[in-house]
Amino acid sequence: MKKLTILGCTGSIGVSTLQIVEAFPDSYQVVALAAGNNVELLCKQVEIFRPRIVAVATEQKAEQLSSLLDDRDVEILCGIEGMIRCATYAESDMVVAAIVGAAGLVPTMAAIKAGKDIALANKETLVTAGALVMKEVSRQRIRMIPVDSEHSAIFQSLAGQRREDIRRLILTPSGGPFRNHTLKQLESVTPADALAHPNWNMGQKISIDSATMMNKGLEVIEAFWLFQVSAEQIAVHIHPESIVHSLVEYRDGAVMAQLGIPDMKTPIAYALSWPERLPLQQAPLDLAQAGKLTFFDPDPDRFPCLRLAYEALAVGGSLPAVMNAANEVAVEAFLQNKLDFLGIAQLIEKVMSRHTREELQSIDKVLHADLWGRQKARELMHGGLK
């Protein structure tokens, strides 16, 4: 039986992971859970899965959880120290890293240093600190298995193949809800519009990133570190049907792809069970019913976030962490109606243009770059960028 820690257990990936655990109780046991502020849902999860320890964002939330659980035999922790305790919990075999945003970096790195296998759903860990993270993964000789549907598809399409035979990795985003919008139409997009993803059920942050295509930009950087290819070998093709989850093109012209219905349970289950596959009770993919599969190139004028991610990757060092930090501030401002949709990319680009690249020799340096990016983004917003 594999014992699991789930970081970000109340988010969409965490909830789906727990559904898989519930469906296969003889294969998985939850020993630690870490959440943010959703104490009510965490309480229900604790009652069902009986973890040994749990962590929440603040001391106040920990007190609230304690009162809800009454005499339940579970250790309740809080803050970043609590997250790290969960991530490094001795009984855990694998950590599902599903905290959204740069907040997932420190506990995920702690889990790696503790020798835990990682099911990686937190792309920002590699975006902000890819070189440091992959060096530690190699040093600890752990497995890091991707959970993102695109990276899981590439991971599967590479099985049994030689890495030196790769010509290109091709990521296939749906294009989000605005793939056919004009620039003029994008000017009036609301948060409600952007949260209405046509194919996937995701959290708010990832839904907005999908709408701006920053999510795909972050995944380009993640793929760079996960699969050790050059940026020039990573392509992006819009695929509205979300059936082909990514492709690998080899130097002899062969192309291998992983196809499936748009449901995150499939890549989550594969990360948990690799190299085996779980008998999920999922609807089968009916290609005859699906009909035509379409692909086209993203428009850099309407979706500049993808270009910004490639630029950050090319510069390297601290710039990807700064870009990610600015994006998190911009997305939060958009959700609060303090910034318009097109202003997200505009703010990120302004922050990036003002940054002087630094080498990232430690996680502290990464956190410093992240803080600089956030402060600069807020400073620019207060200076008049609405």
Mean pLDDT, to the nearest integer, of 14-18?
97
Task: Give the type of residue at 172.
Answer: T
Position 386 confidence tier, pLDDT thresholds 50, 70, 90:
very low
- The CATH number of 316-386 is 1.10.1740.10
Q: Are 343 and 385 in contact (CB under 8 A)?
A: yes
Output phi, psi for 14, to 5 deg. -60, -45
Residue 189: strand, helix, or coil: coil
In angstroms, rounded to a whole number, what is the distance separating the alpha carbons of residues 208 and 132? 28
User: Would you tell me how many other CB atoms lie within 10 Å of the CB of residue 167?
Assistant: 16
Q: Using the CB atoms, write b or e for 305-320: b if 16+ within 10 Å.
A: bbbbbbbbbeebbbbb
Task: Give the type of residue at 104.
Answer: G
Task: Render pLDDT for 265-295 as a digit per residue (tens, 0 to 9).
Answer: 999 999 999 999 999 988 899 999 989 999 9
Name the nearest CA neighbour of 363 among 85, 112, 129: 129
Task: Render pLDDT for 187-227 as a digit per residue (tens, 0 to 9).
Answer: 899 999 888 866 666 778 989 999 999 999 999 999 999 99
**2-146 is a CATH 3.40.50.720 domain:** yes
Mean pLDDT, to the nearest integer, of 128-139?
97
Contacts of 23 (CB under 8 A, 6+ apart): 280, 281
Residue 64: strand, helix, or coil: helix
Mean pLDDT, to the nearest integer, of 327-340?
96
Q: Are 82 and 58 in contact (CB under 8 A)?
A: no
- Average predicted confidence (pLDDT) for the chain: 94
Distances, alpha carbon 139 to alpha carbons 122, 224, 363, in Å: 20, 19, 16
Output phi, psi for 241, to 5 deg. -75, -15
Name the CA dihedral angle for 275, 165, 171, 4, rounded to a multiple of 10 degrees: 20
Give the containing element (helix H, strand E) for 243. Answer: none
Structural domain spans, the chain? 2-146, 316-386
Report the number of secondary-structure helices (H) and strands (E) in the chain.
17, 11
